[in-house]
Structure 1
Amino acid sequence: MGLADKAKAAAKNVEGKLQEAKGNVTGDTKDQLEGKAKQGEARVRNAGEDVKDEVKKAID
């Protein structure tokens, strides 16, 4: 996984956790759900990059 892609996925995950926490504190379910969705997006990005890494290792 490229360093830039790792950083983007990590940033998206942190953003999602912060938004979910904000929703938990304020009781805003929209923020809670959007935060969880962003965390899910980060997991998908990481999984995709992990697959790329494994393919690259297999080729090398």
Structure 2
Amino acid sequence: MDSNRIKGEAKKVKGSIKEAAGKITGDRSLEAEGVAEKAAGTVQSAAGKATDKIRDAVRK
């Protein structure tokens, strides 16, 4: 499993927590930061999945 997948999923979780904390506290800046971090995690995770698929295809 590519490390980008793991790091991306971790960013998504961290972003979700920040987003929820921002909503609860009414801190729009923190909420926006969480949304952005979730999006970055999604992209990084997708890059890791693509790397895994390429690696698997080369091994066959």
C-alpha distance in 2, partners of 1:40/1:48?
13
C-alpha distance in 2, partners of 1:49/1:33?
24
The unaligned stretches of length 5 or more in structure 2 are none
- The alignment's TM-score, normalised by the length of structure 2, stands at 0.83
The AA in structure 1 aligned to 2:11 is K
Q: Which aligned segments of 4 or more residues in structure 1 are displaced greater than 3 angstroms?
A: 4-7
What percentage of aligned pairs have identical amino acids? 32
- The alignment's TM-score, normalised by the length of structure 1, stands at 0.83
The unaligned stretches of length 5 or more in structure 1 are none
Q: How many residues are aligned here?
A: 59
| Higher RCO, 1 vs 2 (CA within 8 Å, ≥6 residues apart) | 2
Partner of 1:29: 28
Per-residue deviation, residues 19-59 of structure 1 (Å, max 9, x unmatched): 10011011111111100111011101111011111111111
